[in-house]
Amino acid sequence: MFPIAALLVAVLGFASAQGWTQIPRSLLQVSGNLNYLWGVDHDMAVFMCERPCTRNWKVIPGYLVQLDADDQYVWGVNMDDEIFFRPVDGTGHWTKVLGHLIHVSTSGHGYIWGTNRNHNTFKCKKPCSGDWVKVDGHLKQVDGGDREVCGINEQNTIFCRPVDGSGTWRHVSDGFTYVTASGSYDIFAVGTNNAVFSCKKPCIGHEWNQLGHNQLTRLVQCDATINALFGVDSSESTWRKDIAL
Protein backbone atom coordinates (compact mmCIF):
# COMPACT_ATOMS: atom_id res chain seq x y z
CA MET A 1 0.00 0.00 0.00
CA PHE A 2 2.85 2.38 0.75
CA PRO A 3 4.15 2.64 -2.84
CA ILE A 4 0.61 3.28 -4.12
CA ALA A 5 -0.03 5.90 -1.46
CA ALA A 6 3.27 7.57 -2.21
CA LEU A 7 2.43 7.61 -5.91
CA LEU A 8 -0.95 9.21 -5.21
CA VAL A 9 0.63 11.86 -3.04
CA ALA A 10 3.21 12.59 -5.69
CA VAL A 11 0.62 12.83 -8.45
CA LEU A 12 -1.82 14.96 -6.46
CA GLY A 13 1.01 17.16 -5.25
CA PHE A 14 2.11 17.75 -8.83
CA ALA A 15 -1.49 18.58 -9.82
CA SER A 16 -1.66 21.08 -6.98
CA ALA A 17 1.58 22.63 -8.11
CA GLN A 18 0.03 23.13 -11.50
CA GLY A 19 -2.90 24.93 -9.83
CA TRP A 20 -5.53 22.24 -10.41
CA THR A 21 -7.65 20.74 -7.63
CA GLN A 22 -9.65 17.56 -8.11
CA ILE A 23 -13.33 17.69 -7.12
CA PRO A 24 -14.83 14.44 -5.73
CA ARG A 25 -17.42 13.61 -8.41
CA SER A 26 -17.23 11.72 -11.71
CA LEU A 27 -18.90 13.78 -14.45
CA LEU A 28 -19.10 14.03 -18.22
CA GLN A 29 -19.81 17.75 -18.27
CA VAL A 30 -19.73 20.58 -15.73
CA SER A 31 -20.86 24.21 -15.44
CA GLY A 32 -20.85 26.69 -12.59
CA ASN A 33 -21.25 30.23 -11.35
CA LEU A 34 -19.80 32.09 -8.38
CA ASN A 35 -21.82 30.04 -5.85
CA TYR A 36 -22.85 26.73 -7.40
CA LEU A 37 -21.48 23.94 -9.57
CA TRP A 38 -23.67 21.71 -11.75
CA GLY A 39 -22.87 18.58 -13.70
CA VAL A 40 -24.18 15.52 -15.52
CA ASP A 41 -22.69 12.02 -15.46
CA HIS A 42 -22.62 9.15 -17.97
CA ASP A 43 -26.09 8.03 -16.82
CA MET A 44 -27.45 11.52 -17.60
CA ALA A 45 -28.07 12.06 -13.87
CA VAL A 46 -27.93 15.70 -12.74
CA PHE A 47 -25.93 16.92 -9.74
CA MET A 48 -25.52 20.26 -7.98
CA CYS A 49 -23.34 21.43 -5.12
CA GLU A 50 -22.56 24.64 -3.33
CA ARG A 51 -19.00 25.72 -3.96
CA PRO A 52 -16.32 24.77 -3.07
CA CYS A 53 -17.98 21.35 -3.51
CA THR A 54 -16.42 19.25 -0.77
CA ARG A 55 -18.54 16.14 -1.28
CA ASN A 56 -21.77 18.09 -0.72
CA TRP A 57 -23.37 17.09 -4.03
CA LYS A 58 -27.15 16.86 -4.33
CA VAL A 59 -28.96 14.70 -6.87
CA ILE A 60 -31.41 16.82 -8.86
CA PRO A 61 -34.46 15.10 -10.42
CA GLY A 62 -34.31 14.82 -14.19
CA TYR A 63 -31.97 13.53 -16.87
CA LEU A 64 -29.84 15.76 -19.09
CA VAL A 65 -26.97 15.33 -21.53
CA GLN A 66 -25.66 18.91 -21.25
CA LEU A 67 -26.26 21.96 -19.06
CA ASP A 68 -25.04 25.51 -18.46
CA ALA A 69 -25.41 27.82 -15.46
CA ASP A 70 -25.66 31.60 -15.11
CA ASP A 71 -26.24 33.80 -12.07
CA GLN A 72 -29.94 32.94 -11.78
CA TYR A 73 -30.74 29.77 -13.72
CA VAL A 74 -29.31 26.55 -15.02
CA TRP A 75 -30.39 25.48 -18.50
CA GLY A 76 -30.05 22.03 -20.01
CA VAL A 77 -31.02 19.69 -22.83
CA ASN A 78 -32.00 16.02 -22.67
CA MET A 79 -31.40 13.12 -25.06
CA ASP A 80 -34.52 14.13 -27.03
CA ASP A 81 -33.07 17.63 -27.56
CA GLU A 82 -35.75 19.14 -25.30
CA ILE A 83 -34.80 22.31 -23.42
CA PHE A 84 -35.34 23.00 -19.70
CA PHE A 85 -34.32 25.51 -17.03
CA ARG A 86 -34.67 25.93 -13.26
CA PRO A 87 -33.25 28.16 -10.47
CA VAL A 88 -29.50 27.71 -10.17
CA ASP A 89 -29.70 27.10 -6.40
CA GLY A 90 -31.58 23.85 -7.07
CA THR A 91 -34.95 25.01 -5.75
CA GLY A 92 -38.16 24.86 -7.75
CA HIS A 93 -38.57 22.55 -10.72
CA TRP A 94 -37.59 22.16 -14.35
CA THR A 95 -39.54 24.34 -16.79
CA LYS A 96 -39.69 23.20 -20.41
CA VAL A 97 -38.98 25.74 -23.15
CA LEU A 98 -40.07 25.45 -26.78
CA GLY A 99 -37.39 24.38 -29.22
CA HIS A 100 -34.87 21.59 -29.77
CA LEU A 101 -31.14 21.92 -29.13
CA ILE A 102 -28.18 19.63 -28.51
CA HIS A 103 -26.16 22.33 -26.74
CA VAL A 104 -27.31 25.39 -24.80
CA SER A 105 -25.44 28.30 -23.19
CA THR A 106 -27.02 30.68 -20.70
CA SER A 107 -23.82 32.43 -19.59
CA GLY A 108 -24.05 35.16 -22.22
CA HIS A 109 -25.02 38.65 -21.04
CA GLY A 110 -28.71 39.09 -21.90
CA TYR A 111 -29.04 36.12 -24.26
CA ILE A 112 -29.36 32.33 -24.37
CA TRP A 113 -27.49 30.65 -27.23
CA GLY A 114 -27.72 27.13 -28.62
CA THR A 115 -27.08 24.75 -31.50
CA ASN A 116 -29.21 21.94 -32.92
CA ARG A 117 -28.39 18.61 -34.57
CA ASN A 118 -27.87 20.29 -37.93
CA HIS A 119 -25.41 22.67 -36.22
CA ASN A 120 -27.73 25.59 -36.86
CA THR A 121 -27.15 28.37 -34.33
CA PHE A 122 -29.86 30.19 -32.37
CA LYS A 123 -30.20 32.99 -29.84
CA CYS A 124 -33.04 33.93 -27.48
CA LYS A 125 -33.26 37.13 -25.46
CA LYS A 126 -33.52 36.62 -21.69
CA PRO A 127 -35.95 35.81 -20.16
CA CYS A 128 -36.31 33.22 -22.92
CA SER A 129 -39.68 31.55 -23.45
CA GLY A 130 -38.77 29.82 -26.70
CA ASP A 131 -38.62 32.75 -29.12
CA TRP A 132 -35.48 31.45 -30.81
CA VAL A 133 -33.94 33.48 -33.62
CA LYS A 134 -31.72 31.68 -36.13
CA VAL A 135 -28.27 33.20 -36.53
CA ASP A 136 -26.00 32.58 -39.50
CA GLY A 137 -23.24 30.06 -39.01
CA HIS A 138 -22.97 26.34 -38.29
CA LEU A 139 -21.50 25.48 -34.90
CA LYS A 140 -21.35 22.33 -32.79
CA GLN A 141 -20.84 24.15 -29.47
CA VAL A 142 -21.32 27.72 -28.22
CA ASP A 143 -20.65 29.65 -25.02
CA GLY A 144 -21.69 33.19 -24.17
CA GLY A 145 -19.68 35.83 -22.35
CA ASP A 146 -20.24 39.36 -21.15
CA ARG A 147 -19.54 40.94 -24.56
CA GLU A 148 -19.16 38.10 -27.06
CA VAL A 149 -20.43 34.61 -27.76
CA CYS A 150 -17.89 32.10 -29.05
CA GLY A 151 -18.39 28.78 -30.77
CA ILE A 152 -16.63 25.94 -32.55
CA ASN A 153 -17.52 24.43 -35.92
CA GLU A 154 -16.96 20.93 -37.31
CA GLN A 155 -13.48 21.93 -38.47
CA ASN A 156 -12.52 22.76 -34.83
CA THR A 157 -12.27 26.48 -35.56
CA ILE A 158 -13.26 29.10 -32.97
CA PHE A 159 -15.41 32.05 -34.00
CA CYS A 160 -16.75 34.91 -31.87
CA ARG A 161 -19.28 37.71 -32.39
CA PRO A 162 -21.17 40.24 -30.23
CA VAL A 163 -23.32 38.39 -27.68
CA ASP A 164 -26.49 40.08 -28.93
CA GLY A 165 -25.97 38.44 -32.34
CA SER A 166 -25.15 41.64 -34.20
CA GLY A 167 -22.24 41.91 -36.60
CA THR A 168 -20.56 38.85 -38.08
CA TRP A 169 -18.57 35.87 -36.85
CA ARG A 170 -14.91 36.74 -36.25
CA HIS A 171 -12.34 34.01 -36.90
CA VAL A 172 -10.27 33.49 -33.73
CA SER A 173 -8.18 30.34 -34.03
CA ASP A 174 -8.03 26.75 -35.31
CA GLY A 175 -7.36 23.42 -33.61
CA PHE A 176 -9.81 23.47 -30.69
CA THR A 177 -12.67 21.17 -29.68
CA TYR A 178 -14.37 23.14 -26.87
CA VAL A 179 -14.51 26.81 -25.89
CA THR A 180 -15.81 28.82 -22.92
CA ALA A 181 -16.13 32.60 -23.07
CA SER A 182 -17.81 33.14 -19.69
CA GLY A 183 -14.67 34.07 -17.75
CA SER A 184 -14.11 37.70 -16.80
CA TYR A 185 -10.88 38.34 -18.71
CA ASP A 186 -10.02 35.22 -20.71
CA ILE A 187 -11.38 32.84 -23.29
CA PHE A 188 -10.49 29.24 -22.42
CA ALA A 189 -10.42 26.37 -24.89
CA VAL A 190 -9.57 22.67 -25.15
CA GLY A 191 -7.19 21.78 -27.96
CA THR A 192 -7.43 18.76 -30.21
CA ASN A 193 -4.79 17.13 -27.98
CA ASN A 194 -6.99 17.87 -24.89
CA ALA A 195 -4.55 20.45 -23.56
CA VAL A 196 -6.17 23.56 -22.05
CA PHE A 197 -5.36 27.06 -23.27
CA SER A 198 -6.30 30.63 -22.37
CA CYS A 199 -6.35 33.83 -24.40
CA LYS A 200 -6.91 37.36 -23.12
CA LYS A 201 -10.17 38.85 -24.39
CA PRO A 202 -10.92 39.82 -27.10
CA CYS A 203 -8.31 37.24 -28.19
CA ILE A 204 -6.99 38.99 -31.27
CA GLY A 205 -3.64 37.79 -32.52
CA HIS A 206 -3.92 34.17 -31.38
CA GLU A 207 -1.90 34.69 -28.19
CA TRP A 208 -2.83 31.40 -26.52
CA ASN A 209 -1.11 30.16 -23.35
CA GLN A 210 -1.24 26.52 -22.27
CA LEU A 211 -2.40 25.90 -18.70
CA GLY A 212 -0.12 23.21 -17.34
CA HIS A 213 1.95 20.70 -19.26
CA ASN A 214 1.03 17.31 -17.80
CA GLN A 215 -1.59 14.62 -18.25
CA LEU A 216 -3.60 15.86 -15.25
CA THR A 217 -4.53 18.99 -17.19
CA ARG A 218 -5.87 17.18 -20.26
CA LEU A 219 -9.58 17.97 -20.43
CA VAL A 220 -12.45 17.19 -22.79
CA GLN A 221 -14.75 19.99 -21.56
CA CYS A 222 -14.39 23.15 -19.48
CA ASP A 223 -16.46 26.03 -18.13
CA ALA A 224 -15.26 29.35 -16.73
CA THR A 225 -16.72 31.48 -13.95
CA ILE A 226 -15.44 34.87 -12.81
CA ASN A 227 -12.97 33.24 -10.40
CA ALA A 228 -12.45 29.63 -11.49
CA LEU A 229 -12.14 27.28 -14.43
CA PHE A 230 -13.87 23.91 -14.10
CA GLY A 231 -13.39 20.91 -16.35
CA VAL A 232 -13.63 17.16 -16.81
CA ASP A 233 -11.11 14.80 -18.34
CA SER A 234 -11.52 11.63 -20.39
CA SER A 235 -11.65 9.56 -17.18
CA GLU A 236 -14.65 11.64 -15.98
CA SER A 237 -12.59 13.23 -13.21
CA THR A 238 -13.64 16.77 -12.32
CA TRP A 239 -11.13 19.59 -11.82
CA ARG A 240 -10.98 23.22 -10.70
CA LYS A 241 -8.35 25.86 -11.36
CA ASP A 242 -8.68 29.17 -9.52
CA ILE A 243 -8.50 32.31 -11.64
CA ALA A 244 -7.05 35.54 -10.27
CA LEU A 245 -9.53 38.41 -10.33
How many structural domains comprise the chain? 1
Q: Among 128, 116, 120, 123, which residue's Cα sits nearest to residue 84?
A: 128
In a domain, 3, yes or no: no
Q: Report the DSSP pairing between strands 186-191 and 196-200.
A: antiparallel
In a domain, 8, yes or no: no
In a domain, 116, yes or no: yes
In a domain, 188, yes or no: yes
- Domain CATH for 185: 2.130.10.30
Answer whether 143's CB lies under 8 Å from 179's CB.
Answer: yes
Residue 16, pLDDT score: 53
Q: Determine the straight-line distance between the first and last CA of the chain, rounded to whole angstroms.
A: 41
In a domain, 91, yes or no: yes
Per the model's pLDDT, the better-predicted residue between 114 and 205 turns out to be 114
In a domain, 244, yes or no: no
Residue 245, pLDDT score: 59
In a domain, 180, yes or no: yes
Instruction: Encode pLDDT of 177-230 as tens digits.
Output: 999 999 889 999 999 999 999 999 999 876 899 987 766 668 999 999 999 999
In a domain, 84, yes or no: yes
User: How many percent of the chain have pLDDT more than 90?
Assistant: 83
Give the angle 102-220-68 at the CA atoms, nearest 5°.
45
| 162 confidence band (pLDDT: 50, 70, 90) | very high
Residue 82, pLDDT score: 99
Distance, in Å, from the CA atom of 10 to the CA atom of 4, rounded to the nearest integer, reads 10
Q: Please report, as a single letter, which amino acid is at residue 118.
A: N
Which structural domain, as residue segments, surrounds residue 137? 30-235
Stated pTM of the model: 0.91
